């Protein structure tokens, strides 16, 4: 965080400053800001967030022991550290992030990129950050820090020397993207796709589309909107962007795209295509697995172009990326059995894309194994979408379908109903049972995909399998 006095922070937050020890209102704070007491370092600011399971106010002491010099709280705690008492620490966190970014913008040339979409946000964020980091100091979220806590915490890592801030925006409901993106008013916004991820929480896919469009409404007037024109719901956001005097860059696989990919090929060593940028036809050879990542790469190249970085330069930097993110199409295992751990998240679109990748990259005669868990937050579409994935796995001729957990049982039943009934599909109650089964079932040469929503936790099963067969 930039250097601010305790008095300045209290003023920004509209809170009551309670000083401790030798601190004065003019004492300067410039450390990291976080809600996790385990991430405190000397000079840090601890935000005591109340939670459903525990309360951050209980951990002020441990935060101070690790070096925190200020606590932002909703009620006074013991007097071991200076505190600012506010009505709502989450609102205070947002207010502080907004102020810090505004001050850095006012003093320098900070440019902000905002990303949203039902799938691909974190991968695209990593792609964009990789391109930008060679241009200057770049701040981007760790993992998927894209909610009411993670997004402001990321923003607060900005300093006076930061050139680029890349923000990822998830949506917990209507208005959430507008609130978060409104803190920074991005110069460049990227909308990747509108799918069924979290659709149950929004009340349907059209409401999801409205939520994603909030990013455009929160962008700086006259900026750039990077839109996936292969997705009709995203393409339909063009008039909204144009009403805000924004330049629109469409990316996709069709001839209508401003930035287009052709000749896409997927193999066990990566993904290749030709990127058409104006009159240029540029080869792209990604180490990242999966045809679906071509769209994410196009979005990153387009966003970089909006910031003045040539497509050829962006492509050269993308080619150095080895994996999209931990637990996202992450190759594991060894020469005997190859594991692809893609179990950080799973919407129906992402699940289908991962299964198609498994089928595409398998060598002739190589046995494919899909270890699948539940997809969460689908609302009324839950049963139908699990059915669809079960059918797809069979139709892609995945030789072994291992379904884990009671919430995914319908996927298993759909696979059996489609013809995978002679031992090709099995249903196991939990990760331990699945690990035991797979330890005996997998054989030399197998190619294994592990895929589920985060809540199903199969990423840890993927780690165990990767270590076991390394």
> Residues at the annotated binding site for ATP?
117-123
CA distance 23 to 15: 17
Cβ neighbours of residue 447 under 8 Å, at least 6 residues apart? 268, 338, 340, 358, 361, 362, 363, 366, 367, 368, 369
Among 162, 161, 165, residue whose Cα is nearest residue 180:
165
Contact of 77 with 60, CB cutoff 8 Å: yes
For the annotated binding site, the residues are: 117-123
Contact of 177 with 116, CB cutoff 8 Å: yes
CA atoms within 13 A on the CB side of 69: 18
């Amino acid at each position: 965080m930039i250097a601010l006095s305790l008095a300045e922070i209290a003023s920004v937050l509209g809170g009551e400053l309670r000083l401790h020890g030798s601190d004065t209102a003019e004492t300067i704070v410039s450390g990291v800001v976080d809600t996790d007491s385990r991430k405190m370092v000397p000079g840090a600011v601890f935000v005591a967030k109340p939670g459903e399971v525990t309360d951050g106010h209980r951990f002020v002491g441990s935060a101070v022991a690790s070096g925190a010099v200020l606590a932002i709280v909703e009620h006074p705690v013991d007097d071991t550290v200076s505190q600012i008492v506010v009505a709502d620490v989450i609102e205070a966190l947002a207010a502080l992030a907004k102020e810090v970014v505004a001050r850095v913008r006012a003093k320098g040339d900070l440019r902000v990129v905002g990303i949203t979409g039902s799938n691909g946000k974190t991968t695209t964020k990593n792609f964009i950050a990789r391109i930008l980091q060679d241009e200057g100091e770049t701040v981007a979220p760790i993992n998927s820090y894209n909610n009411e806590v993670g997004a402001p915490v990321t923003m607060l890592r900005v300093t006076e020397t930061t050139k680029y801030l890349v923000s990822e925006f998830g949506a917990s409901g209507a208005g959430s993207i507008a609130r978060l993106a409104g803190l920074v008013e991005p110069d460049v916004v990227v909308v990747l796709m509108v799918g069924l991820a979290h659709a149950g929480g929004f009340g349907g896919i059209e409401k999801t589309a409205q939520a994603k469009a909030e990013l455009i409404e929160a962008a700086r007037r006259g900026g750039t909107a990077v839109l996936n024109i292969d997705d009709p719901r995203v393409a339909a956001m063009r008039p909204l962007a144009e009403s805000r005097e924004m330049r629109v860059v469409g990316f996709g696989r069709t001839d209508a795209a401003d930035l287009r990919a052709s000749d896409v090929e997927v193999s066990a060593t990566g993904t290749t295509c030709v990127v058409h940028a104006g009159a240029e036809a540029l080869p792209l050879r990604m180490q990242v697995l999966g045809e679906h990542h071509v769209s994410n790469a196009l979005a990153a190249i387009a966003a970089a172009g909006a910031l003045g970085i040539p497509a050829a330069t962006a492509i050269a930097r993308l080619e150095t990326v080895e994996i999209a993110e931990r637990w996202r199409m992450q190759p594991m295992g060894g020469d005997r059995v190859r594991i692809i751990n893609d179990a950080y998240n799973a919407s129906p679109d992402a699940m289908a894309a991962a299964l198609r990748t498994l089928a595409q990259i398998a060598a002739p005669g190589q046995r494919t194994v899909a270890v699948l868990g539940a997809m969460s937050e689908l609302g009324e579409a839950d049963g139908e979408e699990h059915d669809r994935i079960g059918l797809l796995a069979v139709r892609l001729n995945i030789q072994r379908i291992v379904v884990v957990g009671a919430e995914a049982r319908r996927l298993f039943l759909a696979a059996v109903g489609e013809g995978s009934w002679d031992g090709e599909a099995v249903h196991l109650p939990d990760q331990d049972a699945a690990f035991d089964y797979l330890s005996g079932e997998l054989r030399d040469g197998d190619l294994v995909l592990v895929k589920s929503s985060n809540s199903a936790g199969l990423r840890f099963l993927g780690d165990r399998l990767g270590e076991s067969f390394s």
